[in-house]
Structure 1
């Protein structure tokens, strides 16, 4: 057929492989030369097939002893290794890492096509099958600088091998541009939560007009029935007032109300953490910082603009940062122990002994890095501060200022002796005694050398006027 250029030999695998390139060719994603190089076929053969003049059977490649090699085969071992580390790793993430970290210039479509074959194979090796869930929600849009969304991510035991049992990720996303911020922590307490806010504001260079939250206990003081006003945490109100933004608390069970940041949690997990090992929180934060330029260079699938260019308008519309930061403090009431120590968060902190009494109630104010202890009633000068300490890391620590124990018994006057020198008054009394026996009795070591006199018991009978073991003179002795 056609001058002998076609041979009717059925090859289903090659036939189906060539069919997959039709859409890429028609959309302009790949040229005839690239498809011919990828498939190992002659360019004219590929052109004839893709032009619509399809033969009755797939084309036959010229016989060769050399195995056909595709461009993607060069990076196939790396892709397989990434999939074994994280089977759900997305094709865009794999292509991004091949280009950024290994210097390959492979076409993304080739990586995507290889994953169609490789992912099921690796999943079968690992004995797992990936699945996805989808839901419906109402979309909304905002103007630049109007809104940010905040959420936590649980990264589990990613640092358990270095003794950190749990790691969390804090996320803030600008709703207009989807510009991301993320930092990793070991706690979700009040001080850490708002310290992450300060880092996010510095990252963006300003403060959005409102921030959307879940009903987390660091923002909401208590839960209320639907339709009622949500009571905010006092520190959250003070922090929002200082930075001039409005807290926006979602209705219960409405995670799609902050879908932009919910999605960002998954993106950071896929692009920054998946398939990698870390040894510290600092390494994790550095990995996110290195990835941000790559994210900002992407065209977002929803608003259709480059994230970084749209973020410029977002950042410009943000409110300026205040001159001084607001330091959030947790406030708790605790009792003073008899040892002048106050227990907080499984650690002990000292207070001055001359300013407290046992079982006195004091206020603990805890920031991320400092613990201050305050009296519940002001002193003579209106001062309530009792002590300030650096916050202990971990549990079971005892943070003590030795000056706080000034005036308490030290136990320095306690003495014991094994019979050495006697106090001076006793020594004088012993020297005045005419007999050395008193000195010997008072001195335990010398007492062992005292000579004791020995007398028969009859001497004591004579002195007392009794004669034991004798009968009365008027009685007869029985035989």
Structure 2
């Protein structure tokens, strides 16, 4: 009870109101009104311990399942029944709903990074735009990267999303930023990860991209499955490019489009950012990025494979397998 109401009840009692009248006026049981009226100090309340439920022994495992994937309450109930749970659907539904709300709030809390710590990368597919290249019309994709601290943005348009193209765009972004951060966040794109498991350490990265990251020394960070919100900065940039740069755009070639894209990057990176209230170019000076001290050769892995191959002068022996790749034969 609020202190003011407790004093009002005491005052009305002194004015002659009965406990029944006090209960009617303040919507309380007369016995409760009496207790308040006779109390020399404001009543204090303590919350009672919540009653145990059939869900209690299973809450931890349900939390782990929901971290893994956004299972429905019905699917959670099925999994719990396999473990011996004998409760009803309603109690499971109530708990799953509350946990999903907590997870969504946690995922959407703005995550601020330290200078030089993290970048985020994503692809954008612009299905309503084409570009004429090599004698034919091609689909248009956009490479996007943003630095977490400074909010420096870089975009580049391409006609494919191969691993070689991804690496080349990374190098162009690094040159534009003047270096690269300690780690870069990705979703589970096949150019970065071949087999995604719950723990990143157990996942299999794309061999060429892993070699590229290791060459420079930055760490690829994979988003948890179904938890793409952690890459929110770059995903907002994708939408920003759609709504700001691409509206009414006119271009006659891929080079022309990328020239306009670079000019757009310079413009937005030179304006005050709505979140940081600072200019990205100015915050970039505090990033402390690792400098580009050497150049990665995109085809270096293939070159290594060529050097390891044995090129026979005669026909292969029965225990040899002829490689159709560049005519080499290797021992098996």
TM range (shorter): 0.5 to 0.7
Mind listing any 5+ residue stretches in structure 1 that lack a counterpart?
Answer: 1-134, 332-351, 365-372, 379-479
- Are residue 189 (structure 1) and residue 162 (structure 2) matched? yes
Correspondence for 1:326: 297
SS in 2 for 1:247: strand
- Are residue 375 (structure 1) and residue 299 (structure 2) matched? no
* Alignment check: 8 A CA contact 2:124 2:144 kept: yes
Structure with the bigger RCO (C-alpha within 8 Å, sep 6+) is 2
Residues matched between the structures, number: 213
Residue 159 of structure 1, CA deviation: 2.2
Q: How does 1:28-427 map to 2 (within 5 A)?
A: 137-159=108-130, 163-225=136-198, 229-314=202-287, 317-328=288-299, 361-362=322-323, 364=325, 373=326, 375-377=328-330
Question: CA deviation digits over 1:261-302, x for unaligned, max 9?
Answer: 111112222332211222211111101111123212221111
Q: Distance in 2 between matches of 1:192 and 1:176?
A: 26
Residue 212 of structure 1, CA deviation: 0.5
* Alignment check: 8 A CA contact 1:190 1:329 kept: no
Distance 1:192-1:361 versus aligned 2 partners, 3 A rule: farther
Residue 184 of structure 1, CA deviation: 0.8
CA RMSD, 1 decimal:
2.8
Q: Distance in 2 between matches of 1:328 and 1:195?
A: 11
Query: Given the two structures, how large is their TM-score scaled by the length of structure 2?
Result: 0.58
Question: CA deviation digits over 1:436-463, x for unaligned, max 9?
Answer: xxxxxxxxxxxxxxxxxxxxxxxxxxxx
Higher fraction of helix:
2
Distance 1:258-1:201 versus aligned 2 partners, 3 A rule: same
Q: Distance in 2 between matches of 1:271 and 1:193?
A: 24
Distance 1:268-1:166 versus aligned 2 partners, 3 A rule: same
SS in 2 for 1:321: coil
* Alignment check: 8 A CA contact 2:131 2:254 kept: no
Mind listing any 5+ residue stretches in structure 2 that lack a counterpart?
Answer: 1-103, 303-310
Q: List structure 1 runs of 4+ shifted beyond 4 angstroms.
A: 225-228, 328-331, 354-357
SS in 1 for 2:205: coil
Distance 1:173-1:361 versus aligned 2 partners, 3 A rule: farther
Q: Distance in 1 between matches of 2:211 and 2:132?
A: 39
Q: Distance in 1 between matches of 2:250 and 2:314?
A: 50
Higher Rg: 1
* Alignment check: 8 A CA contact 1:157 1:165 kept: no
SS in 2 for 1:155: strand
* Alignment check: 8 A CA contact 2:270 2:280 kept: yes
Q: Distance in 2 between matches of 1:246 and 1:374?
A: 35
